[in-house]
Chains A and B, each alone.
Chain A
Amino acid sequence: MNSAKIIALIVSAATFVTLPYWANQGIMFLAGLVLIEAIFALSWNLLFGFTGLASFGHAAFFAIGAYLTGYALRAALGVPFLLLILASGVLGAAAAVVVGVVLLRRTTGIHLAIFTLALAEVLRIIIGYSTALGREDGLASIPRPSLELGFMTISLNSGTSYYWFLCVAFALVAWLMWVVCHGAFGRILVSIRQDPERASFVGVNVPAYRLTAFTISGGVAAVSGALYAPWAQIVTPESAHWIHSTQPMLASLLGGAHSFFGPIIGTVLFSLINYLTRNLVGLSELVIGVTLLVIVLAAPSGVAGLFKALRTSYATKPGAGAQREAS
């Protein structure tokens, strides 16, 4: 990581952590959503940007985590919150294994996208019919839990304390994903994205790596859902809707899918656009549409790619200038 990146990281972290001191409740709520959606986007981009697989139904995994946690908290089962998050991740990962074993065997490209889209819609419709899960109304008034750390118990009942919990959770998950993406495992995923056949001819078991990536991705998406339920305090079938599945895609494309931080940048930008155009009905969609168009046409590698290109051109400029002077 270069120094510019580290400074940007420190500034963003400070902005998010100190936010409750200088922003109102509404903005804090949106910032919390950004953290949750950013984890969701990171999980999707592990597949798309790093493994070269496109899931168009990722909201299903988010919903699995959100409904499990929401249901358990409402039922007051007494399960520790951290265990609930873990269970959500395991359930999401298990669902991803089942889907992955069936789908990844035969399909990768557009077929995988359509199949995952269809499966997510099926899940959404099933939730809509399930009385236990509140049918179309969803699960409302989900209580915020306490954090039992063994030696102490922290109540996350207030918005501010849960917000800080989200900051910590985001940092942990993002760090873990960073290591997954940049370690030896991630490098092999990237080689699969570039040329699966070449990868298999360096001895990589491509289907097994793809399935592992799919499993991690499903698990992390479910964790983001689990974090969401007590924050929004309501979970509806909309969380499994295909429109929600497009959120991480748009964020990753806007921010830059081949960059780890791209999906996070994209999520922040989308929320900013949404917030700044909140009083102008329909304008946010227009702005997002135009932004995406510009990105796709002018900067196919997203905002992160744009930064990189600018830095490269800045770095080469002095040399070019010297050459001009010499001639």
Chain B
Amino acid sequence: MSGFLNVAGVHKSYGAHHVLKGIDLDVGQGETFAIIGPNGAGKTTLFRVMTGEVAFEKGTITYDGRDVTRTSAYERVRLGMGRTFQVARIFPDVTVEENIVVTIEARGRAARDGTAPWYRVKPSGSLVDEAHGYLSDLGLLAKKDVEAKFLSHGDKKRLELGIALAGRPRILMLDEPTAGMSPMDRSATIELIRDLRARKNMTVVMTEHDMDVIFGLATRILVMHHGETIAVGTIEEVSNNPVVREVYLGEEMYGAEG
């Protein structure tokens, strides 16, 4: 219960379909916590529960010592939860730079710090500088004037990461950060997340299918199956767990034994 983000006894059903059957997890500050499991295990639902996107029947979510079970998504963002989506969600009709600028402005307006009054047609120089900072971190500065919808898939994913960062998150929630990426983009993204997490002192929670990404980033792993936790621990602990080997790596093991 001492963790930074804590999920306790969460149940969630879609109609008669019981998707989450009492999930508990505890993410410590500075950790990179990965949630894995076969398709349909309930990873994404758990993710949406943590970010405040969907309501759930039972259980509590605590973030930074505060009960956020009934806190709406945008308020959780204001408390420092940034997130990305499985399929990158960006603002397609505006430029790459404006994607970041509007995010910084939204943060400023939410905090009522006077940096983005309603009538400020041209964003202040310091705000634009901050936006350029994120873009150069992500290697997107050269594309700042491109309309975001024209970006490649990998660049869209990176821009979305930039949008999340511009909210100055304390915990970054990444839903399959490398989904659909080329192997080259994937290893670049691993490097990028590793670097950002260290420099910005962020806690990371992610779902991921790709084992290279998990081995490259995660400090702890939670394995889900049919809406239940079957194992949680470090990479070594989890990969030596017999239940995990059976349900998650079952086919491979079966093949090896047969």
A residues near B (Cβ < 8 Å) are 179-180, 182-188, 190-191, 194-195, 197-206, 258
Contact = CB atoms under 8 A, between A and B. Distances in A.
Given A184-B109, A187-B101, A191-B91, A202 B118 contact: no
30 contacts: A182-B121, A183-B118, A183-B121, A184-B108, A184-B117, A184-B119, A184-B120, A185-B118, A185-B119, A188-B106, A191-B94, A194-B92, A194-B93, A195-B89, A197-B53, A197-B89, A198-B85, A198-B89, A198-B163, A199-B106, A200-B74, A201-B74, A201-B89, A202-B77, A202-B103, A203-B74, A203-B77, A203-B78, A205-B74, A258-B93
Nearest to A193: B93
Interface in B21-54: 51, 53
Contact of A187 (B82, B83, B105): B105
B161 interface: no
Nearest to B173: A201
Nearest to B90: A198
Interface string B84-126: 0100011111100010011101111110000011111101000
A200 B90 CA distance: 12
Contact of A203 (B106, B116, B117): B106
Interface in B58-91: 72-74, 77-78, 82-83, 85, 89-91
B227 interface: no
A184 B119 CA distance: 6
B177 interface: no
Contact of B94 (A180, A190, A197): A190
B74 A191 contact: no
Contact of B107 (A179, A185, A190, A203): A203
A5 to B, nearest CB: 15
A202 B82 CA distance: 7
Contacts of B121: 179, 182-183
Contacts of A188: 102, 105-106, 109
B118 A200 contact: no
A259 to B, nearest CB: 12
Contacts of B93: 190, 194, 258
A187 B131 CA distance: 15
With a 10 A CB-CB cut-off, give which of B74, B89, B107 has the most chain A CB atoms: B74
A134 to B, nearest CB: 39
Nearest to A180: B118
Contacts of B118: 179-180, 183-186
A204 B89 contact: no
A257 to B, nearest CB: 12
B122 to A, nearest CB: 9
With a 10 A CB-CB cut-off, give which of A187, A195, A197 has the most chain B CB atoms: A187
B216 to A, nearest CB: 25
Contacts of A182: 121
A197 B102 CA distance: 14
Nearest to B117: A184
Contacts of B119: 179-180, 183-185
A201 B120 CA distance: 22
The 6 A-B pairs at the shortest CB distance, nearest first, are namely A185-B118, A184-B116, A203-B77, A198-B89, A200-B74, A202-B103
B53 to A, nearest CB: 8
B74 A184 contact: no
Contacts of A185: 109, 118-119
With a 10 A CB-CB cut-off, give which of B77, B91, B94, B109 has the most chain A CB atoms: B91
Contact of B167 (A190, A197, A202): A202
A191 B92 CA distance: 9
B102 A187 contact: yes
Given A191-B94, A202-B102, 4 more contacts: A180-B119, A194-B91, A197-B53, A200-B73
A309 B195 CA distance: 41
Contacts of A204: 74, 106, 110
A183 B123 CA distance: 8
A201 B109 CA distance: 14
B9 to A, nearest CB: 25
Interface in B124-146: none
A214 to B, nearest CB: 16
A325 B155 CA distance: 33
Given A198-B90, A202-B106, A187 B167 contact: no
Nearest to A178: B121
Nearest to A187: B102
A307 B110 CA distance: 36
Contacts of A190: 91, 93-94, 102
Given A184-B117, A187-B102, A202-B103, A195 B110 contact: no
B185 to A, nearest CB: 21
Contact of B163 (A184, A200, A202, A205): A202
B101 to A, nearest CB: 7
A184 B107 CA distance: 11
B103 A184 contact: no
Nearest to B116: A184
Contacts of A258: 93
Contacts of B110: 203-205
